[in-house]
Amino acid sequence: MSGMVEKKGKAAWLVHLGLILGILVVCFPIYLAFIASTVSSGDLVRPPMPLLPGEHFIANYKEALFSGVNTPVWNMLLNSTIMALGIAIGKIIISLLSAFAIVYFRFPLRNVFFWLIFLTLMLPVEVRIVPTYEVVANFGMLNSYSGLILPLVASATATFLFRQFYLTVPDELAEAARVDGAGPMRFFVDILLPMSRTNIAALFVILFIYGWNQYLWPLLMTTDPDMNTIVMGIKQMFPSGDDLPNWPVIMATALLAMLPPVLVVVLMQNLFIKGLVDTEK
């Protein structure tokens, strides 16, 4: 409805105004969180809370990062980074390989395997949470990075995305490579991988955010505060009894928790949108 049909003058300003209003409403919770992370605890128990930044910015963030409540936030950031990278990279690697096998080879049980992987589309981790927990516990992988990462690594989405992409690669390219003397793995590494790099990057953005924002799984898996990830660790910072939560430090942690994925989305916006559209259809 743009182009010629766009209204001029007052109507256009109304549209801009509406959008700005929408953005303000959407951004307001974050702004408030930022204010809260720059004031003292005392400022927050005497309503109404201030609406302009206070003077405790450095003190709050320092406290969050280096002492935290149960464990220093830098440690949780590290755990989250390892988990998010592990999930994203792990998924991409196993999916690249399995999609390559499915598209470029004919082997016994190929269709059976294909459907087995396909079925996992229907099983989000939340559904099979209790038995998966038991499996991981049996392997002794509680409170470990492998326990955090491995159950979330297998997913059909990435495999499907790469399969779709491989199918668009002209058959002749593989034939040319064969005539040139390249074996399957050589073709995969020299030709298919470099051609997939945009898809890989787009998928990485989406999977990194997916991994970073995991909540339920780390909540079950990590009983040791040292293994907490930041997204699940925030909730652990609330005291259990009637004690007052240390809101400035909690809000500083919340902002630190959203910073990496938000940066990824904003800085790699085009890849992010491509990834979103690719994975959701």
Partner 1 sequence: MATLNLIDVKKSYGKDEVIHGVNFDIHDKEFVVIVGPSGCGKSTLLRMMAGLETVTAGEIKIKDRRVNELEPMERNIAMVFQNYALYPHMSVFDNMAYSLKIAKLGKAEIKARVDNAAKLLQLSEYLKRKPRQLSGGQRQRVAMGRAIVRKPDVFLFDEPLSNLDAKLRVQMRLEIKKLQRDLGVTSVYVTHDQVEAMTLGDRLMVLNGGYVEQFGSPIDLYERPASLFVAEFIGSPSMNIIDGHAADGVVELVNGVRLPGSSEVAGAVKAGIRPEHLSLDPAGVIAIRKGVAEQLGSSTLVHGTLDGSDIAISVALPGVHREEQLDDVMCFSVMEQGLHLFSADGKRV
Partner 2 sequence: MDKRVTFSGWWLPMLLILPQLLITAIFFFWPAGQAIYQSAFMPDPFGLKTQFVGWDNFTFLFEDEYYLASFKTTAIFSLLVTALSMGVALWLALMADRIIKGSGTYRTLLIWPYAVAPAVAGVLWLFMFRPNVGLMSWYLDKVGYDWNHVLNDGQAMGLVVVASSWGRISYNFLFFLAGLQAVPKSVIEAAAIDGAHFWHRFRTIVFPLLAPTTFFLLVVNVVYAFFETFGVIHTITSGGPQQSTTIMVYKVYSDGFVGQDLGSSAAQSVVLLLIVGMLTIVQFKFIERKVHY
Site for partner 2 in 85-104 (CB under 8 A): 93-95, 97-98, 100-104
Residues numbered 58 to 87 that lie near partner 2 (CB under 8 A) are none
Does 211 sit near partner 2 (CB under 8 A)? no
Tokens of 71: 């464990």
Q: Which of 154, 191, 195, 201 binds partner 2 (CB under 8 A)?
A: 154
Cis before residue 194, ω within 30 degrees of 0? no
Minimum CB–partner distance for residue 213 and partner 2 (Å): 4
Q: What is the DSSP letter of 6?
A: P
Nearest to 247 by CA among 38, 106, 19, 65: 38
Does 178 sit near partner 1 (CB under 8 A)? yes
Tokens of 56: 């405790």
Does 62 sit near partner 1 (CB under 8 A)? no
CA distances from 166 to 33, 199, 223 (A): 45, 11, 42
Please give the Cα distance from 28 to 154 (Å, whole number): 37
Residues numbered 171 to 200 that lie near partner 2 (CB under 8 A) are 171, 174-175, 178, 183-185, 187
Q: State the Cα torsion 219-144-239-41 to the nearest 10°.
A: -110
Residue 182 binds which one of partner 1, partner 2, none, with CB within 5 to 8 A depending on kind? Answer: partner 1
Are the beta carbons of 201 and 276 closer than 8 angstroms?
A: no
Q: Which of 6, 134, 180, 224 binds partner 1 (CB under 8 A)?
A: 180
What is the size of the binding site for partner 2 (CB under 8 A)?
A: 106
User: Helix, strand or coil for residue 45?
Assistant: helix
Minimum CB–partner distance for residue 105 and partner 1 (Å): 15
CA distances from 121 to 76, 86, 127, 190, 202 (A): 30, 20, 12, 30, 19
Residue 281 binds which one of partner 2, partner 1, none, with CB within 5 to 8 A depending on kind? Answer: partner 2
Q: Which of 65, 87, 153, 202 binds partner 2 (CB under 8 A)?
A: 153
Tokens of 79: 């755990």
Nearer to partner 2, 58 or 115 (CB): 115
Q: Which stretch binds partner 1 (CB under 8 A): 57-65, 95-103, 170-178, 263-271?
A: 170-178
Residue 102 binds which one of partner 1, partner 2, none, with CB within 5 to 8 A depending on kind? Answer: partner 2
User: Helix, strand or coil for residue 82?
Assistant: helix
Q: Which of 47, 181, 194, 241 binds partner 2 (CB under 8 A)?
A: 47
Are the beta carbons of 99 and 162 closer than 8 angstroms?
A: yes
Binding residues vs partner 1 (CB under 8 A): 170, 172-173, 175-182, 186, 190-191, 194-195
